[in-house]
C-alpha cells in the first residue's frame, strides 16, 4: 500500500474508534459481560479457523528462519485457543471499575461534587509476535468501555485476523458496537507512524514489545504513551538479613522464570555478610545453571566472571546474574536509583526500620521487603488480570489492571449556584 493510503485507512479506523467509544461508554456492566461471554464462546467455536490461520503464520515464520522460541510464542493449538477464551471469561467475572465514585464531597455553597471513573475512550495497542495479545488486550479495554485499535506484528497477521474476526462476529450478535474492536488489517510499517499521529482520535497508545518498538512509538507519538520498558530488578541483602531466606528469595527471583521483566538481574550484598552469604547463594544459583558476574569484592569471595560497568544496566532476561558488594544500605539505594529501571527492587532484612528506610528511598514502581521480585504482577497483586507492567510515573505505574484503563470526570450538582 502507498503511505497515503495507509494514512487514510488508519484515520478512518481512528474516527470509527472514537464514534464507538461514545457508544461503549453507555453500555451497562451486565451488557458488557454478556458480550464478553459471547466472544469467549465465539472464539472457541472458531478454533479450527484460528489454528488454520496460525499454520500459515508458522509456515511463513519457518521460511523466514524465525528462531524456535519465537515460533513457540507464535504457535496456537486447541489448548491455547481455549486458554485465550478462558481469559475472556475471567475478565467477564472481574468487577467493572467504570462508574465507581472515587470521591464525593460538598462545598460551602452547597455544590455536590463527585469524581467518577469513566472509560479513557480510545486505545491503540501496538504489539509484536504473540497473537493472544489480540484478544487479551481487546477484552481488557472493552471491559473498561474503551474502543481499541490493535496493530500486531506481520509474523502473526493471519492469526490476529482470525482472532479479531471471531471476537467481532460473536460480539456483534450480542450488541458489541461496530468498530469497538478493530485490527489494522495490513502490516505496513507506516501504519505505526500513522497511528502515532491520530492524537485527535486516539487517547493513548500502549506499545507491547521490544525496546525498538517502544522507542519508535515514543519518538513519534503525539498522544500519551504507556510504556512497558525493561525490568532491571535488584535484591539487596542487608547485613541484618535472614540469610536462609535471602538465598531462597534470590534463587526464586532469578530462576523461577528468568525471561520476564520482574526477574532478578542484579544482586547487591552488604559487605558485612558477603563472606558468609556469597558462597552459599553462589552454590545454589550455579546448581540452577546461573552464570555469575561479580564486582571485584565478589570475585574475592566466589568463583565468577568479572562484571563490567555495562552489567549494572543490563536486563539479561536469561540465567545470568550480576553481583555487587556494597558498604551500606545507602550505597545499595544509590546503586538501584542510578542503574536500575525503576521497576521492582527488594530488600532482605530482619530489621523493620531498615526495611522502611529502603522502601522510602528507592524510586521504583514496586519496592519489596522479604518477598520475591516475581510477585510484581497484576495477578499476584490481586488485580485479576493485567495489561502489563507500566514503567511510567504518570497515570499508571507498575502492574496495570482494569482500573488503570480508566479515566475520571468530575460531576457537580447544584441549585443554580453562580460565582461572585
Burial of 26 per CB tally in 10 Å (0-12, 13-18, 19+):
exposed
Q: What track of x and - describes contact with a second copy for positions 247 through 276 (by CB under 8 A)?
A: -xx--x---x--------------------
Q: Which is nearer to a second copy, 157 or 321 (CB)?
A: 321
Q: Which is nearer to a second copy, 57 or 96 (CB)?
A: 96
Which SS3 state, helix, strand or coil, does residue 258 take?
Answer: coil
Q: What track of x and - describes contact with a second copy for positions 383 through 402 (by CB under 8 A)?
A: ---------xxxx-xxx---
CB of 113 to a second copy, least distance (A): 6
**Rounded Cα–Cα distance for residues 113 and 110 (Å):** 10
Under rule CB under 8 A, residue 363 binds a second copy: yes
**Rounded Cα–Cα distance for residues 407 and 144 (Å):** 10
**Rounded Cα–Cα distance for residues 349 and 369 (Å):** 7
Q: How far is CA 156 from CA 99, 198, 276, 300, in A?
A: 36, 24, 50, 49
First to last CA, the chain: 59
Under rule CB under 8 A, residue 29 binds a second copy: no
Q: Are 104 and 114 in contact (CB under 8 A)?
A: yes
**Rounded Cα–Cα distance for residues 362 and 178 (Å):** 46
Q: How far is CA 233 from CA 102, 217, 344, 345, in A?
A: 32, 24, 5, 5
Q: Which is nearer to a second copy, 22 or 48 (CB)?
A: 22
Q: Which is nearer to a second copy, 298 or 344 (CB)?
A: 344
Q: Which three cell numbers stand for residue 420?
A: 461572585
By CB under 8 A, what part of segment 185-204 binds a second copy?
Answer: 199, 203-204
Q: Which three cell numbers stand for residue 85?
A: 477464551
Q: Which is nearer to a second copy, 112 or 173 (CB)?
A: 112
Under rule CB under 8 A, residue 381 binds a second copy: yes
Number of residues that bind a second copy (CB under 8 A): 67
Under rule CB under 8 A, residue 57 binds a second copy: no
Neighbours of 235 (CB within 10 A): 28
Q: Which is nearer to a second copy, 154 or 256 (CB)?
A: 256
Under rule CB under 8 A, residue 113 binds a second copy: yes
**Rounded Cα–Cα distance for residues 77 and 231 (Å):** 30
Output DSSP code: residue 131: T
Q: What track of x and - describes contact with a second copy for positions 71 through 110 (by CB under 8 A)?
A: ----------------------------------x-x---
CB of 256 to a second copy, least distance (A): 5
Under rule CB under 8 A, residue 370 binds a second copy: yes
Q: Which is nearer to a second copy, 150 or 247 (CB)?
A: 247
By CB under 8 A, what part of segment 211-250 binds a second copy?
Answer: 218-219, 222, 224-226, 242, 245, 248-249
Q: What DSSP string runs through 44-112?
A: HHTHHHHHHHHHHHHHHHHHHT--HHHHHHH---HHHHHHHHHHHHHHHHSPP-TT-EEEEEE-TTS-E
Q: Which is nearer to a second copy, 164 or 201 (CB)?
A: 201
* 37 phi, psi to nearest 5 deg: -65, -35
Q: Which is nearer to a second copy, 88 or 264 (CB)?
A: 264
Q: Are 251 and 231 in contact (CB under 8 A)?
A: no
By CB under 8 A, what part of segment 278-337 binds a second copy?
Answer: 337
CB of 345 to a second copy, least distance (A): 10
Which residues make up the interface to a second copy (CB under 8 A)? 21-22, 25-26, 105, 107, 111, 113, 118, 120-121, 199, 203-204, 218-219, 222, 224-226, 242, 245, 248-249, 252, 256, 337, 355, 359-361, 363-372, 374-376, 380-382, 392-395, 397-399, 407-419
Amino acid at each position: 500500500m502507498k503511505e497515503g493510503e495507509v494514512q487514510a485507512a488508519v484515520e478512518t479506523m481512528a474516527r470509527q474508534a472514537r464514534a464507538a467509544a461514545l457508544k461503549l461508554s453507555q453500555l451497562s456492566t451486565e451488557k458488557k459481560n454478556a458480550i464478553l461471554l459471547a466472544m469467549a464462546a465465539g472464539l472457541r467455536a472458531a478454533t479450527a479457523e484460528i489454528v488454520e490461520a496460525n499454520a500459515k503464520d508458522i509456515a511463513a515464520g519457518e521460511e523466514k528462519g524465525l528462531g524456535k522460541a519465537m515460533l513457540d510464542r507464535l504457535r496456537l493449538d486447541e489448548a491455547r485457543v481455549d486458554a485465550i477464551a478462558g481469559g475472556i471469561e475471567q475478565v467477564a467475572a472481574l468487577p467493572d471499575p467504570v462508574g465507581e465514585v472515587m470521591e464525593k464531597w460538598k462545598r460551602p455553597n452547597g455544590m455536590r461534587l463527585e469524581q467518577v471513573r469513566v472509560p479513557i475512550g480510545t486505545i491503540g495497542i501496538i504489539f509484536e509476535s504473540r497473537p493472544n495479545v489480540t484478544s487479551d488486550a481487546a477484552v481488557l479495554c472493552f471491559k473498561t468501555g474503551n474502543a481499541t485499535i490493535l496493530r500486531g506484528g506481520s509474523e502473526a497477521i493471519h492469526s490476529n485476523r482470525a482472532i479479531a474476526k471471531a471476537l467481532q462476529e460473536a460480539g456483534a450478535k450480542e450488541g458489541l458496537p461496530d468498530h469497538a474492536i478493530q485490527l489494522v488489517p495490513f502490516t505496513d510499517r507506516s501504519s505505526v507512524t500513522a497511528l502515532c499521529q491520530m492524537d485527535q482520535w486516539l487517547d493513548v497508545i500502549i506499545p507491547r514489545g521490544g525496546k525498538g518498538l517502544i522507542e519508535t512509538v515514543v519518538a513519534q507519538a503525539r498522544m500519551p504513551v504507556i510504556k512497558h520498558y525493561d525490568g532491571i530488578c535488584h535484591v539487596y541483602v542487608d547485613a541484618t538479613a535472614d540469610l536462609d531466606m535471602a538465598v531462597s528469595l534470590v534463587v526464586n527471583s532469578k530462576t523461577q522464570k528468568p525471561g520476564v521483566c520482574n526477574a532478578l538481574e542484579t544482586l547487591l550484598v552488604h559487605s558485612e555478610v558477603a563472606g558468609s552469604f556469597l558462597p552459599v547463594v553462589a552454590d545454589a544459583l550455579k546448581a540452577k545453571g546461573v552464570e555469575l558476574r561479580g564486582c571485584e569484592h565478589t570475585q574475592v569471595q566466589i568463583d565468577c566472571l568479572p562484571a563490567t560497568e555495562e552489567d549494572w544496566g543490563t536486563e539479561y532476561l536469561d540465567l545470568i546474574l550480576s553481583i555487587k558488594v556494597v558498604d551500606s544500605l545507602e550505597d545499595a539505594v544509590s546503586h538501584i536509583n542510578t542503574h536500575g529501571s525503576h521497576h521492582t527492587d527488594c530488600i532482605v532484612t530482619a530489621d523493620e526500620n531498615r526495611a522502611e528506610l529502603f522502601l522510602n528511598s528507592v524510586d521504583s514502581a514496586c519496592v519489596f521487603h522479604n518477598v520475591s521480585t516475581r510477585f510484581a504482577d497484576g495477578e499476584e497483586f490481586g488485580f485479576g488480570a493485567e495489561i502489563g507492567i507500566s514503567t511510567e510515573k504518570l497515570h499508571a505505574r507498575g502492574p496495570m489492571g482494569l482500573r488503570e484503563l480508566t479515566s475520571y470526570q468530575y460531576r457537580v450538582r447544584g441549585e443554580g449556584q453562580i460565582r461572585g
